[in-house]
Amino acid sequence: MLKTSALSALAMLAGSAALQAADIEFWYGNTGTGEVAIQAACDAFNAAQDDHAVACMGQGSYETGMQKAIAAYRSGRHPALIQFFDAGTLDLMLSGAVLPVEELEPEVDWGDYINGARSYYETSEGMLYSQPYNGSTLIFYGNRELLEKAGIEALPATWEELADAARRLREAGVDCPFVTDAHPWRVLEQFSARHGLPIASRDNGYGGLDAEYTFNTGKVAEHLQNLHDWREEGLVKLNEDTAAGNYTVAFNTGECAMMEGSTGSYGAAFAALGDKVEIAMAPMYQGYERHNTLIGGASVWVMKGHDEASYEAARAFLDFLRGDDRQIAFTRTTGYMPVTKSALAALEAEGLAAEPDFATVPTGVGSLDQPGGEGSRGVRLGFYVQFRDIFMEETQKAFTGGQSMQAALDTAKERGDALLRRFEDTYKGVALP
Amino acid sequence: MKQEIFRARALPWWLCAPQLLVLFLFFYLPIILAFFWAFHLEQPFGGGSQFVGFANFRRVLGSGEFWSSARATLAYMVLASGSSVGTALVLALAADRRLRLSGIARNIFLWPKAVASASIGVIFVFLLNPYLGIPAPLNEIWPGLWNPRTNPLHAYAMLFVANVWSAIPFSFIILLAGLQAIPEELHKAGAIDGAGPWRRLRDIQLPLLTPQLFVVVVLEVADSLSGSFGLIDTMTRGGPGGATNLLVYKIYSDGFKAYDLSGAATQTVILMALVAVVTGAQYLFLERRVRYDR
Amino acid sequence: MIENSRSIDRWATAILLCGLVFVLTPMAFVIVTATQSYEEFLRRNFSLIPGGHFAENLREVWTRTDLPRQTLNSIIVGAIAATGRIALAVTTSYAVVFFTGRGRGLVYALVVASIMLPLELMIITAYQVTANVALPLNALANAGGLWSALAGRPLDLQWNLLDSYAGIAIPLMAQGSCTLILVQFFRTIPPQLARAAIIDGAGPLRFLWDILLPLSKGPLTALGIYMFISAWIQYMWPLVAASSPARTMAVVGLARLQEEGERIPDFPLQMTGAILVTLPPLILIAVFQRRIVRGLTLSEK
């Protein structure tokens, strides 16, 4: 008797809990100012309405968040929403663990997202899988004080001009004219995209899982060889050649005069150098038409296996994050950029675009909004996170003299192709959406 | 085992059960699971896993970077344990001479045990920083003299120094205890027979120390591997150019950063086999030379 | 020693001095750097001149980083792991040494084998097991479709220990060195003691509790301290098993201080953190040096 009544009480409890089961979790990977801004967004959302509650849980990094999500998904304890970074897009698309945002909210006008932000996260058929969140892209930074020392008026727009400027900087006594970490996001992905060159066949993998890397020939190979030669000449420095040990730090401390970096680095650079910081779109090689750069940062994914009430909450939260005010507030704290046309229009209308908090927006969005090409939609390649490490490892060996740059790129291609084949095997029978 | 006293059937099993359960869950089961995954191609999100026979092994064994990582791992195991045991042995021999310094030394040589490998990494990577650390003045005079961020040899040198520093305590304690257990009379007898100190070291001390040396070498080999992760993760992150990407670190990054569960599990199986072979070889070749009689 | 060989003693002294310098130099540099302010450090780079900013740096560490809470986590995990390892080792070694019966050799071998393969080697799958400890139950129940036939669907129990104190501490206990040492120690205990207890009418558990444990207090404390320190200095497992800041351990937290991306690393702050993280185990070692040495060398007799 007692037992049954206890059971029914339990059942009632469970039932009532199910009715308001609109408490969802959102896992994110940012730390620092990004984390502050995300928590602020969550608090604002929870304060603004009573129907849903979202618990935003920091995971320390994108990688940890993903790893925990994998373990959690395998044991059925995963969050409804998870933020994940650009390079893992295909891994998530094929995981069978996510629900495309366009399917979750078909009524939303997803075309409001600017081209460069959309194409990275949509299928070859044009269906958006995740909602772009903290958007960044590659831009070019210069330290006006150092550049003026060498009599350089404007930031170089081409690599040829850049090499020239670097030589003059050296003559003027600047030991580190241009600094980069040679990370593939900068020297491979963004470089190829804005030059309209694919890094892999099958439209960078958008056309099928049987893609193969192609970056080891042509302009990309030439560019990396140039970087190598320029480093020998003393025009280019890598992380490990700088006292600071890190390219953004080396730029911020005034050790180096120029760098290419994410729009997200602007905040710290401005804090350190003030209005000595100048930005522009990343340089091109002469004779190439400029295409859009890729969106960096991360997007928000909806995970499968939750009830309708949770998805209702997820919709509300995604709508909230997408709102113009939210995007602008997020940009103000972090230096990431608004990526919908309406938010950009609102920014313009409110006359905020001139404020230093939004200094990267015209350049960054301008760069994202260039005409698209087959090479600039995004990167749709499997185990791409692992490939980035391989690329770094092989090119680092070339930079430090262990092998020639061409050999490094050939090996990276070979190892990368092996990864792609294994990815294909792992998802045998799964169709690329 | 002569001490069996109580006769009870169930009780001893109940007494062993907790430890066996913990060992099963967190030692044997991970091993079994590693073998399982090594023969399957596992989708990260658990969508499907298919039996692929030895395909994972063929792939891993066919890749150049696995072999360079395995070679580096083996070399590291031998050199790191060798250098740390050697250092500890010299220090123990010196401390055994009952000098005024011995007492202090015996205490202080244990201190590194309190410092985690990752903390040592954080500390040494700063001390040996080419631009901000101890070598900075030298680097200003001769640019490029020392840069572990670009020079693999320097990177390894940094790892070895940090490893020796952290491995002194354990080997030192065990070896010193072994030395002190050698009866004084043996020394005296040796001296009367006209054997000098070097001769006694070779003929009396070292042979009688073999049991301790054996234990220390076996444990240091395993320890150098597990400690290498903390050092690498804080000092070199596998670089420059993958030069210090030892298997322990490679497995971690393949599995946790690149979601390659099958590849990581396959390398885990191979690494465990490697350690088992090295340990087995030590038993075969070293233990024979151990003298247990005193 | 035997002959009055001054020259050898001089050499030995020199060697010991070298060793002391090698061990102490890094520690000294850490302390000196921790007394400098960030600005001082940037101006002079590396220098041996102590500054007067240790208290300030300590306050920074205390307020700006998570290290205070992480230190508490280390204490908790260290205490759980040490007590757990001792408790498991005591019961197992007691069963192995004092009982007759089959299987003791096998149990002992199973336990000791775990010393050879550290947790770091099987991190990938240990993580997976910790993510769902009920895994073997599910596998067992579902073998051959058994559970599906009975209940209509495969058994799918979930018990995730990741990011919990238990999940960090218990896998650290899956290592047999403590048992190895205790077995050696129990074997040195005269069997007459137990026989006398039997004659007095004490059962095995009573003997364990009333006689054996009090008798082993010294070695057990030494081992406990050593195991606490061993758990404290773990890095890889706490790194993967705990992801929320609320469960991160101090050593992992210290390594994370390295990841400041936007300026020259604040080395004075890092070194202050290193002192904070190292001091508790260091004090234990310096104070209990004799006991720990005795506890460890037990197995060597």
Q: Which residues pair with A176 in a beta bridge?
A: A256
Question: pLDDT tens for residues B183-235?
Answer: 888 888 888 887 777 888 888 888 888 888 888 888 888 888 888 999 999 99
Extract the tokens encoding A236.
Answer: 């280019």
Question: pLDDT tens for residues A40-84?
Answer: 999 999 999 989 999 998 887 787 788 888 878 877 778 999 998
Q: Is C149 helix (H, G, I), strand (E, B) or coil?
A: helix
Look at residue C184 in the predicted model and tell me its pLDDT. 83
Q: What is the pLDDT along chain A (433 residues), one digit of tens a residue?
A: 344 444 444 443 443 334 344 689 999 988 777 888 899 999 999 999 989 999 998 887 787 788 888 878 877 778 999 998 888 889 889 888 899 999 999 999 999 998 888 889 998 888 999 999 988 999 999 999 999 999 999 999 999 999 999 999 999 999 999 999 999 999 999 999 999 999 999 989 998 999 999 999 999 999 999 999 999 999 999 988 888 888 988 998 899 999 999 988 888 888 889 889 999 999 999 999 999 999 988 999 999 989 999 999 999 999 999 999 999 999 888 878 888 999 999 988 888 877 888 888 989 999 998 988 878 889 999 889 889 989 998 999 899 887 899 999 999 999 999 989 988 988 887 888 8
B191 or C13: which leads in pLDDT:
C13
State the residue for tokens 């996260």. Answer: A121
Give the CA radius of gyration of chain C. 25
A55–C contact, CB cutoff 8 A: no
CA of C218 to nearest chain B CA: how many angstroms apart? 18
Shared-domain flag, residues C41 and C72: no
A contact residues 59-78, partner C, Cβ 8 Å cutoff: 59-60, 64-65, 67-68, 71-72, 74-77
Does the pLDDT of residue B81 top 70, yes or no? yes
Cβ-contact A174, A146 below 8 angstroms: yes
Cβ-contact A259, A178 below 8 angstroms: yes
Distance CA B194, CA B200 (A): 10
Residue of chain C nearest A62, judged by CA positions: C243
**Which residues of C fall within a CB distance of 8 Å from B105?**
16, 19-20
Distance CA C239, CA C247 (A): 10
Question: pLDDT tens for residues C45-74?
Answer: 667 778 888 998 999 889 888 899 999 999
Look at residue C3 in the predicted model and tell me its pLDDT. 55
Shared-domain flag, residues C38 and C80: no
Per DSSP, A430 falls in state: P
Distance CA A124, CA A113 (A): 16
**Could you tell me how many helices (H) and strands (E) chain A has, helices first?**
20, 11
Distance CA A62, CA A286 (A): 36
Distance CA A72, CA B178 (A): 50
Extract the tokens encoding A347.
Answer: 């920014």
Nearest to C123, CA basis, from C156, C162, C86: C162
Contacting partners of chain C (3+ CB pairs under 8 A): A, B
A243–B contact, CB cutoff 8 A: yes
A389–B contact, CB cutoff 8 A: yes
Question: pLDDT tens for residues B125-144?
Answer: 988 988 888 888 888 888 77
**Which residues of C fall within a CB distance of 8 Å from B115?**
233, 278, 281-282
Section B17-40 average pLDDT: 94
Q: Which residues pair with A132 in a beta bridge?
A: A299
- The complex's ipTM works out to 0.89
Q: Which of B241, B257, B258 sits opposite A396 (nearest CB)?
A: B241
Shared-domain flag, residues C193 and C292: yes
Does the pLDDT of residue B3 top 60, yes or no? no
Q: Which of C162, C244, C262 sits opposite A71 (nearest CB)?
A: C162
- For A274-323, where are the alpha helices, taking DSSP H only? 308-322
Question: Measuring CA to CA, how many Å separate C276 from each of A258, B254, C246, C273?
Answer: 39, 33, 18, 5
Distance CA A47, CA B191 (A): 86
CA of A288 to nearest chain B CA: how many angstroms apart? 32
CB contact under 8 A, A268 and C131: no
Last residue of a domain, one of C31, C64, C97: C64
Q: How confident is the model at residue B48 (pLDDT cuts 50, 70, 90)?
A: low
CB contact under 8 A, B45 and A385: no
Look at residue A236 in the predicted model and tell me its pLDDT. 96
Last residue of a domain, one of C64, C79, C114: C64
Does the pLDDT of residue C102 top 80, yes or no? no
CB contact under 8 A, A265 and C263: no
Strand pairing class (A296-303; A256-262): unpaired
Least confident range of B3-12, B59-68, B75-84, C234-243:
B3-12
Residue of chain A nearest C264, judged by CA positions: A244
User: CA C44, C45, C46: angle at the middle one, nearest 5?
Assistant: 110
Look at residue A9 in the predicted model and tell me its pLDDT. 43
Q: Please report the DSSP string for A141-178 in residue order.
A: EEEHHHHHHTT--S--SBHHHHHHHHHHHHHTT-SEEE
C263–A contact, CB cutoff 8 A: yes
Cβ-contact B148, B155 below 8 angstroms: yes
Shared-domain flag, residues C214 and C244: yes
Q: Which of C131, C256, C263 sits opposite A74 (nearest CB)?
A: C131
Q: Which of C132, C158, C262 sits opposite A268 (nearest CB)?
A: C262
Shared-domain flag, residues C145 and C208: yes
B13–C contact, CB cutoff 8 A: yes
**Which residues of B fall within a CB distance of 8 Å from A400?**
150-151, 240-241
Shared-domain flag, residues C75 and C18: no
A385–B contact, CB cutoff 8 A: yes
B41–A contact, CB cutoff 8 A: yes
**Which residues of B fall within a CB distance of 8 Å from A95?**
43-45, 47
Per DSSP, A297 falls in state: E
Question: pLDDT tens for residues C233-255?
Answer: 999 999 888 877 788 899 999 98
Question: pLDDT tens for residues C72-84?
Answer: 999 999 999 999 9
Shared-domain flag, residues C72 and C216: yes
Cβ-contact B222, C116 below 8 angstroms: yes
Shared-domain flag, residues C190 and C84: yes
Look at residue C44 in the predicted model and tell me its pLDDT. 67
CB contact under 8 A, A248 and C244: no
Spell out the residues 6+ positions from residue B174 whose beta carbon is closer than 8 angstroms to its own.
B212, B215, B216, C296, C297, C300
- Whether the upstream peptide bond of residue B197 has omega within 30° of 0, thus cis, is no
**Which residues of A fall within a CB distance of 8 Å from B144?**
none
Give the CA-trace dihedral at B288, B293, B294, C5, to 10 degrees. Answer: -10
Distance CA A182, CA A188 (A): 8
Q: Is C99 helix (H, G, I), strand (E, B) or coil?
A: strand
Q: How confident is the model at residue B280 (pLDDT cuts 50, 70, 90)?
A: confident
C233–B contact, CB cutoff 8 A: yes
Q: Which residues pair with A238 in a beta bridge?
A: A180
Extract the tokens encoding A28.
Answer: 């994110």
Distance CA A195, CA A182 (A): 17
Give the CA-trace dihedral at A300, A303, A306, A310, to 10 degrees. Answer: 0
Residue of chain C nearest B261, judged by CA positions: C124
Q: Where are the beta strands (DSSP E) in chain C?
A: none
Residue of chain A nearest B254, judged by CA positions: A386
Please state the length of chain A. 433
What CATH number should be reported for the domain holding residue C150? 1.10.3720.10
Question: Measuring CA to CA, how many Å separate A419 from each of A105, A201, B43?
Answer: 34, 15, 14
Distance CA C238, CA B258 (A): 20
Identify the structural domains of chain B with CATH numbers, from first to last: 48-289 (1.10.3720.10)
Q: Which of B173, B233, B272 sits opposite C255 (nearest CB)?
A: B233
Nearest to C284, CA basis, from B9, B153, B67, B113: B113
Distance CA A25, CA A256 (A): 42
CA of A425 to nearest chain B CA: how many angstroms apart? 8
Single-letter code of the amino acid located at A197: L
Question: Measuring CA to CA, how many Å separate A136 from each of A132, A261, A266, A346?
Answer: 10, 10, 11, 19
Shared-domain flag, residues C52 and C75: no
Section C5-21 average pLDDT: 88
- What is the count of residue pairs from A and B with beta carbons less than 8 Å apart? 92
Does the pLDDT of residue C1 top 70, yes or no? no
Look at residue B47 in the predicted model and tell me its pLDDT. 65
Q: Which residues pair with A142 in a beta bridge?
A: A258, A278
A contact residues 26-55, partner B, Cβ 8 Å cutoff: none
Distance CA B175, CA B87 (A): 11
Residue of chain A nearest B253, judged by CA positions: A386
Please give the distance of CA C121 from its chain centroid, rounded to a whole number.
Answer: 17
Q: How far apart are the first and last CA of chain C?
A: 23
Shared-domain flag, residues C208 and C250: yes
Q: Is C30 helix (H, G, I), strand (E, B) or coil?
A: helix
Which percentage of chain C shows pLDDT scores above 70? Answer: 95
Q: Is C172 helix (H, G, I), strand (E, B) or coil?
A: helix
Residue of chain B nearest A95, judged by CA positions: B45
State the residue for tokens 């059971």. Answer: A7
Look at residue C232 in the predicted model and tell me its pLDDT. 95
Q: Which residues pair with A258 in a beta bridge?
A: A142, A178
Spell out the residues 6+ positions from residue C44 whose beta carbon is closer than 8 angstroms to its own.
C36
Shared-domain flag, residues C176 and C148: yes
Nearest to B159, CA basis, from B89, B109, B84, B220: B84
A422–B contact, CB cutoff 8 A: yes
Cβ-contact C228, B94 below 8 angstroms: no
CB contact under 8 A, B174 and C3: no
Last residue of a domain, one of C18, C47, C64: C64
Look at residue C46 in the predicted model and tell me its pLDDT. 66
Best mutation target among B66, B129, B253, B257 (most A Cβ atoms within 10 Å) is B257
**Which residues of A fall within a CB distance of 8 Å from C131?**
71-72, 74-75
Q: Which residues pair with A303 in a beta bridge?
A: A98
B199 or B73: which leads in pLDDT:
B73
**Which residues of B fall within a CB distance of 8 Å from A430?**
47
Give the CA-trace dihedral at B275, B278, B282, B285, to 10 degrees. Answer: 160
Spell out the residues 6+ positions from residue A39 whose beta carbon is closer than 8 angstroms to its own.
A56, A58
Look at residue B4 in the predicted model and tell me its pLDDT. 60
Shared-domain flag, residues C1 and C81: no
Nearest to C221, CA basis, from C150, C298, C109: C298
CB atoms inside a 10 Å sphere around CB A234: 14
Nearest to A390, CA basis, from A414, A366, A372, A354: A414
State the residue for tokens 């040990």. Answer: A245
Spell out the residues 6+ positions from residue A185 whose beta carbon is closer than 8 angstroms to its own.
A87, A138, A296, A388
CB contact under 8 A, B46 and A73: yes
Cβ-contact B187, B203 below 8 angstroms: no
Going from N- to C-terminal start, the domains of chain A cover 24-136+295-368, 138-293+384-426
Spell out the residues 6+ positions from residue A418 whose beta carbon is closer than 8 angstroms to its own.
B59, B63
Does the pLDDT of residue C123 top 80, yes or no? yes
CA of B35 to nearest chain A CA: how many angstroms apart? 18
Cβ-contact A101, A409 below 8 angstroms: no
C contact residues 54-73, partner B, Cβ 8 Å cutoff: none
Distance CA A334, CA A268 (A): 10
Single-letter code of the amino acid located at C291: R
Best mutation target among C32, C73, C96, C121 (most B Cβ atoms within 10 Å) is C121
Single-letter code of the amino acid located at C275: I
State the residue for tokens 């506890």. Answer: C295
**Which residues of C fall within a CB distance of 8 Å from B25?**
129, 133, 136, 170, 174
A309–B contact, CB cutoff 8 A: no
**Which residues of A fall within a CB distance of 8 Å from C261?**
32, 246, 248-249, 268
A402–B contact, CB cutoff 8 A: yes
Indicate the burial class of A287 (C-beta count within 10 angstroms; 0-12, 13-18, 19 or more). exposed
Q: What is the domain extent for residue C108?
A: 66-300
CB contact under 8 A, B257 and A400: no
- What CATH number labels A138-293+384-426? 3.40.190.10
Could you give the number of structural domains in chain C? 2
CATH architecture of A24-136+295-368: 3-Layer(aba) Sandwich (3.40)
Q: Which residues pair with A280 in a beta bridge?
A: A140
